Amino acid sequence: MNETRRKIIINEVHYWKTNRMLPEHYCDYLLALYQGGDPGDPAEPLTEKKGKKTIPLSAAFLSVGLTLYVNYFTDLSFNLQILLTIIFLVLAAGSLFFIHKEKLPLQIALVCLAFSFLLLTVKITEAAFPGGSKVFYPILLCHCLLWMYLGKRLKMGYFTLAAILGSCLIAYFFIRNYTII
């Protein structure tokens, strides 16, 4: 058996043992089997650096939090708010790149990126068209179409669900605001 495969299996068995996924005597048997009868040092499983995996996820969450803070809780100028929001959007996109590179699940970073992009377009639309909900609805609908595409393309049901619910809400408010009853 390949040495790296053997080490991976031993590491997995140590993980199972510490997290009680298998009974301890089964894990001891598997460790003895894959270590060639040598019990080895059970306290020395091969571990990955967990901090390396959490940094991109933390950056994605941080970008959303900072975007909300900058846009809604500070009195910065509009141009500075947009610049900082774009920087935070790039931070979320960069975290998505690193998460994809590390072969981690993309869901959290994609949601953070989509939400940051939504906040950016809402802020720009509010500034460009004050009180212009006629422009606001199509822009939100474009976001819903993008979410629908992502949901179908990446097989992420919550993006599809968010797109459907968002489209229904947009249609409801559009009909409510622009019909004469």
Note the pLDDT tens digit of each residue in 41-87.
554 555 555 566 788 888 888 999 999 999 889 899 999 999 999 99
pLDDT digits 0-9 by tens, 119-150: 999 999 988 888 777 888 999 999 999 999 99
User: pLDDT-derived band of residue 178, with 50, 70 and 90 as boundaries?
Assistant: confident
How far apart are the C-alpha atoms of 13 and 178, rounded to whole Å? 63
Exposed e or buried b for every residue in 83-109, given b needs 16+ CB within 10 A? ebbeebbebbbbbbebbeeeeeeeebb
Number of C-beta neighbours around residue 164 at 10 A: 14
Instruction: Please provide the DSSP assignment of 78-90 as one string.
Output: HHHHHHHHHHHHH
Write phi, then psi, for 176 (nearest 5 degrees).
Answer: -65, -40
pTM comes to 0.67
